[in-house]
Structure formats: structure tokens, C-alpha cells
Amino acid sequence: MLYRVGAIARPAQHVIELSKPRPLVIWHGLGDSYASSGILQFQSLIDKIHPGIFIHSVFIDPDQKEDQRAGFYGNVDDQVELVAQQLKDVRELSRGFDAIGFSQGGQFLRAYVERYNDPPIHNLITFGSQHMGVSDIPPCKPYDLLCQLAKKAARAGVYSEWAQQNLVQAQYYRDPAQLPKYLESNHFLTSINNEVQPALRNRTYAERLANLDNLILVLFAQDRTVVPKESSWFGSYAPPEDSKKKKKNGEGIGGGGPDHADEETTMPMRKQPLYIEDWIGLRTLDERGSVVLASCEGEHMHLSTECWQPFVKKYVGSRS
């Protein structure tokens, strides 16, 4: 049986392929792996919402233990490049896909959008991601030796050349009290946020991000892992002098982690220079009505059904 598109006859099977939900890519967070029980369960729940959806879970290494380790140790620029090639090689993704990034996986997917986006992401959902970095190294779970070793090494010299090349969390560590050091030493977050000299800013980053259909930024209301939690909405602690001025004027939207509560004010997304001057296309996207600032109750990555399901229903699996 055949049907016609213009003057070209195609098999009826192609009709079924075109009617499938748009594919989905997931990039897991710190301490997880691409095929963990949690990721597999999440995929099965999505399949119940969008039957037949193709889901690809990003991996740095096919060995689960090594993939988990890569969340702590490695060069993020190299990892994003590896994933870009990985996604390009997956035939089912060739027409584009939606994407979900958990925690640090969210800013890594944004880096993919800005630097590659071939094949393209349509809707990008990030849960508890550190888009403006963190001002404290995330805490470790009890008995998590891998995390504890990475955290100890980062604290010993987060802006050292070795840390910036080999410790994942150090590559998005952004201390407002040490902004000159951060701008001088960091090679990943400064790049994808275009926090570089004006002449060096990559305009293509802004063009690609602005081409997203939607950017959904989910913050966890009781997040004590991402410091400040408003980083999930492109917020950051204000530099010390700005923080003092804002406190005097009663400005700011509150503090973040336990070490900073009542000591810092937070600069929201629309006050950030990268937004005001549209360094990465975020303002263009927002003014088009395509940036969604959402929050979920709970601590970091405590994903209740009420939290994630509405976003998956609305922004994943379009058949159009």
C-alpha cells in the first residue's frame, strides 16, 4: 500500500514512522549513570505518557561505573564534544529531539545546543541545573568515596589548572568573591555563558540558543545542593560590593546554601549582564515568551510525579 507526498510514492510504513512521538534525549546528573535503575524507571514512565517514544540516555562511557566516574572526573569540553558526535550517530535523532537534563546534565545539554545542536534540540528541560555555576562544591552522600575524593581535590585548588581540566564540578564553580580568578581560569562555564571579552564572544551561541522552541528551567525550592539554588534560573550571588549595596536598599531575592544564608543577595536572571546584553540569546528567547521559570517543592533532584510529569506531557513527544 502506498501514499503520496507530492509526486513521490512512499510505503505506508513511513506514515507510522512520521506519527511517532518526537524522540527524547536524557543526560543524567552527578553520581548517576546512563543506565541506572532510576534512569531506566524514568524512561519507562515517559513511555507510558508517550507510547513508542524513542529515548536515548547520554553516556560518556558504556561501562556504568566509568560513566558514573565521568560525572566527577574529566574535561567537560571534551565530554560535550563526545556527546555531540554520539547524538549525531543515532539515526532516530536525525530529525531533532527534545531533551531533559538532570542537574549538571542540564548545563551540559545547553552547551551542546550552543556549540553544536546538530541534530537540533526543540524543547530543553533542565531540573536543578547550575546555569550560573555554584558558589560551593555540592555535598556528598555518606560513604560516597568517589564524591568525597573529588570534593577534597576541588577544595584544595578549585581554580588550579589541574582542577579546571580534570574535576567536573570545578569547571562550573563560580565564586562571586573571586570573579577575576574565575574569569581567568575557567574554560567551560565562562565559554557557554560568553563571560569573555566582547571581541571573543561567540555570536553563534546566542543564535543557536534563541532557536530553541522552549527552554524550561526548573528550580527545587528547598535545594541545598546547588548554591545558590537560583542558579537553576540563571541567578547567582551578587559580587560582594553589589551585595552590600543591595542589602542596604533591601534588594535581592534571598540567599542560597547554609554557608551563605543571610550573607549574600542573589542577582536574578533578568539582572545578569549576560541577559541584559543578550550574550547567549537568553533575552531573545525570554522576550519571545519561550523561557519558562518553574519550581518544584523538595530538595535537589527529589523528583515527585507532580513535579516532572506536567513538563513531560507538555514539552516532550510532540507529533507535529
- 28, 50, 122, 300: which is the annotated catalytic residue? 300
The DSSP secondary structure of 240-307, one letter per residue, reads HHHHHHHHHTT-S----STTTTTT--EE-GGGSHHHHTTSSSHHHHHHTT-EEEEEESSSTT---HHH
- 33, 103, 129, 243: which is the annotated catalytic residue? 103
Give me the half-sphere count of Cα atoms (radius 13 Å) on the Cβ side of residue 8: 4
Residue 142: asked if its preceding bond is cis (omega within 30°), the reply is no
- 300 catalytic? Reply is yes
Spatial distance between the Cα atoms of 225 and 274, rounded to a whole number of angstroms: 24
Q: Which three cell numbers stand for residue 117?
A: 545542536
Spatial distance between the Cα atoms of 156 and 195, rounded to a whole number of angstroms: 25
Q: Is the dihedral of CA 40, 43, 48, 53 positive or negative?
A: negative
Burial of 291 (0-12, 13-18, 19+ CB in 10 A): buried
Spatial distance between the Cα atoms of 291 and 278, rounded to a whole number of angstroms: 14
Closest CA to 21 of 46, 54, 45: 54
CB 124 within 8 A of CB 101: yes
Q: Which three cell numbers stand for residue 217?
A: 528551567
- 67, 223, 278, 286: which is the annotated catalytic residue? 223
Closest CA to 75 of 111, 124, 103: 111
Q: Which three cell numbers stand for residue 39?
A: 534512569
CB 19 within 8 A of CB 319: yes
Spatial distance between the Cα atoms of 133 and 232, rounded to a whole number of angstroms: 9
Catalogue the active-site residues: 103, 223, 300
